[in-house]
Amino acid sequence: MLIFTLRRLNLFIFTILLLTILSFSLSFLFPGEQLINLTGQLNASPEQLAILADEYKQQSGLISQYFSYLSHLFNGEMGYSMTSHLPISTEILNRLPATIELTSVALLVAMFFGIPIGFFAAIYHRKLPDNLILTVAMLGYSIPVFWLGILAILVFSIQLGWFPSAGQISLLFEIEPVTGLQLIDILLSDSPYKWQAFQDATRHLILPVIVVALAPATIFMRLARTAMLEVLDTHYIKAANAKGLTFAQIIYRHAMRNAFIKVIRDVGLQFANLITIAMVTEVIFSWPGIGRWLIESIYQRDYTAIQGG
């Protein structure tokens, strides 16, 4: 366990190091002056630029500039957006809760459906249900996210009219942001129409969640199936079978619990995968999260925001 933790810690440090070097290098690669690309101060006076140059060690070597950049970064000073002129940290904090809400609900949905179906496939190993589930899992994992999102809008929003195609909540409802998580803010609000607002926000959430959750759900199916097969092949399961326990008792009392522990270890890895899928989904469904903000920053050539993202 200690070796596993140290390996993960080394990987984390190495990844952070590479990301900060790449982010710092972008300020040199983007068009324009490096200091302005780094700070986003488009309308700064010569005196202000001189102060910024001193803060970012512009007169020193690259290594000093890099450590100065790291110091500002870890203090939350990531410069100002070139389009909105707001601090990048404020922009991220304003949009991050929407992304967390979308990915968290999608992760719960993926686990809720993916893990039991994977267990069911393992119980019927090499039989028709197992083959059907594996086929569906392979198809679900292979479908491109952008294609699935557009198809969901065409069918369920435009043709059937069941769900909204864009946004987080209808403009009819005014909810005061408290936590940034829309569903939580609605429940905390004093609005007399908060239950109608909650239903409306839930309807806005369903299609993006399905699109984000599909690929991780198929991964959970395969992980759960593999974990259950490994558990069913262990000696204590064979001993339980020899004692005369029924197959249902073996599954519910012994196999399912131990297989679930093996699947839970990979939940964190799937959450990182969800963030990537959510970035594309937010653009398709106009979801006001960090992914949509980052894609718009690329279109608007907001270099400071791109580095911060």
Residue 72 amino acid letter: H
Helices (H), ranges, 233-302: 235-242, 247-249, 256-264, 267-284, 290-299
Average pLDDT of the chain, as a whole number: 84
Question: Percentage of the chain with pLDDT > 90?
Answer: 7
Return d(Cα 169, Cα 165) in angstroms, integer: 11
- CB atoms under 10 Å from CB of 71, counted, come to 13
In this prediction, residue 1 has a pLDDT band, given cuts at 50, 70 and 90, of low
pLDDT digits (tens, 9 = 90+) for 208-245: 999 988 888 998 898 889 888 888 888 888 888 788 77
- The pLDDT score that the predictor gives to residue 112 is 92
Residue 54 amino acid letter: D
Q: Is the pLDDT of residue 187 over 80?
A: yes
Return d(Cα 173, Cα 193) in angstroms, integer: 8
Choose the weakest-confidence range: 56-60, 106-110, 129-133: 56-60
In this prediction, residue 155 has a pLDDT band, given cuts at 50, 70 and 90, of very high
- The pLDDT score that the predictor gives to residue 68 is 83
pLDDT digits (tens, 9 = 90+) for 245-296: 787 888 887 788 888 887 887 777 777 777 778 888 888 888 888 888 888 8
Return d(Cα 278, Cα 284) in angstroms, integer: 10
Average pLDDT over residues 179-198: 84
pLDDT digits (tens, 9 = 90+) for 75-118: 877 878 888 788 888 888 888 888 888 888 998 999 899 889 99
pTM over 0.85: no
Q: In which residue are the tokens 């279109």 written?
A: 299
More confident residue, 204 or 241: 204
For 264, the 3-state DSSP assignment is helix
Q: Where are the beta strands (DSSP E) in the chain?
A: none
